[in-house]
Amino acid sequence: MSLTLPTNVEVVKIEQNQLAATGARYIQRIDSVGIMEVLWIHFPPNCNALVDIAVGIYPESGKSIQLIPTQDNTYINLDDVTIAFHPYEPTEAGYRLWADIYNYDAGNSHNISIMAEIRKSKR
């Protein structure tokens, strides 16, 4: 069974197998004008709050905006949960979704998934 999304929704994904004791920023392009209505973050089992994540957007020009958590230079770290945030952030074609993922687990890699749902608007 496959899931079919409405045609007025763009899904932007960042999926990363973050190796043990590493971290990086990952970026995906947003192609639609619209509103980011839902931002899903999946922490797999055994993260044990050892994987820090922050998510935001880069406007086409201008300063990066951190969306989750809402305070700059802070992170969330959970275990065995998929959590939905509702940022209701406007987007434009050419914006980029970014995710900072830092794995402080020295012995294990973790598969992190981030998915943004953008409701397209007509212009």
How far is it, in rounded angstroms, from Cα 47 to Cα 106?
11
CATH number at residue 20: 2.60.120.380
pLDDT tens, position by position, for the chain (123 residues)? Answer: 666 778 899 999 999 999 999 999 999 999 999 999 999 999 999 999 999 999 999 998 888 999 999 999 999 999 999 999 999 999 999 999 999 999 999 999 999 999 999 999 976
Q: Per the structure, how many domains does the chain have?
A: 1
- Which of 25, 18, 88 has the alpha carbon at shortest distance from 58? 25
In a domain, 1, yes or no: no
Question: Range of 70's domain?
Answer: 10-120
In a domain, 103, yes or no: yes
In a domain, 5, yes or no: no
